[in-house]
A = this chain, B = another copy of it.
């Protein structure tokens, strides 16, 4: 007989309007047998070790009609997202007990993932395992793809990153420095600005909340204009950036976190700048670049080991902290990659 254990789970209580609140979620305790049910093929039963709190998850808290990039969460059901897992049982030919992987899993202690849509086996374990929720996972691919593939940076170019100390932003800044670019980041607190300047190697950084005129702030930090904007926030910030783009500039649209909780997104007024300045603006999704993951790993692992790249994590302990951790991302409470430790390896 398989052992049946408690399984704490994070449930969406209701669709979210505006900013998500803790009360939109609930922790319940279910139970699970730590063995894959007889006859269930291509399944992995995993212990969830780390869960990452990602801005894109906001979309999934609201029901939208029509096709979307990912299914929305269903009230009353456990939510899911990126995480690091350890395989406890497997009927999937690619996995065996003890394997570590990152990818999609439930926000719960244990998950039975049938035909896991996205799990990538972890081969390199001489780095912090939690990094696979960030620099070594989807987040890393996002920063790499958005900066290198979408923006085609050149040495000496002027790069601006918003939400610059976040899970993705902190990497973009460091990739840009490694390319020999001049990099300025913005964030929403003094602590984050200090992090950008003192730990993450940004040439300059500023607190956007203390800038009544974002256009003026950008003109101060980029008197020559901006070649590359790594867009994480949208709205007013994008409008100000547009006024400061240089000819043939590139904007990688990774996210627009300032807009996700608004019932009607802010209007962006300065798009006609795209014409005269020949600016490219391109949305992208990390998923499309997963075929480049091995190449990315090969590049980034040595940088991590040589401490040429650092990665700042903001870690909460225990699945009970998961709802608060997730919603804190939308008010900027996190300092770096926000993640939840569900269990230690």
Contact = CB atoms under 8 A, between A and B. Distances in A.
B280 A282 contact: yes
Contacts of A92: none
Contacts of A268: 267-269, 271
Interface in A243-295: 253-256, 259-260, 264-285, 288
A319 interface: no
Nearest to A267: B267
Nearest to A257: B272
29 contacts: A69-B276, A234-B272, A253-B274, A253-B275, A255-B275, A256-B271, A256-B272, A256-B275, A260-B272, A265-B270, A265-B271, A265-B272, A266-B267, A266-B269, A267-B267, A267-B268, A268-B268, A274-B281, A274-B282, A275-B283, A275-B284, A276-B285, A277-B283, A278-B283, A278-B284, A278-B288, A280-B280, A281-B281, A281-B282
A142 to B, nearest CB: 11
Of A256, A259, A282, which is in contact with the most chain B CB atoms at under 10 Å from its CB? A282
Nearest to A235: B271
Interface residues of A, number: 34
Contacts of A276: 59, 68-69, 283, 285
A166 to B, nearest CB: 15
A69 B278 CA distance: 10
A238 interface: yes
Nearest to A245: B283
A278 B266 CA distance: 20
A267 B272 CA distance: 11
Nearest to A265: B269
Given A68-B276, A278-B285, A281-B282, 5 more contacts: A238-B271, A255-B275, A265-B269, A273-B283, A277-B283
Nearest to A150: B280
Interface in A198-235: 234
A283 B279 contact: yes
A270 B256 CA distance: 11
Contacts of A275: 253-256, 283-285
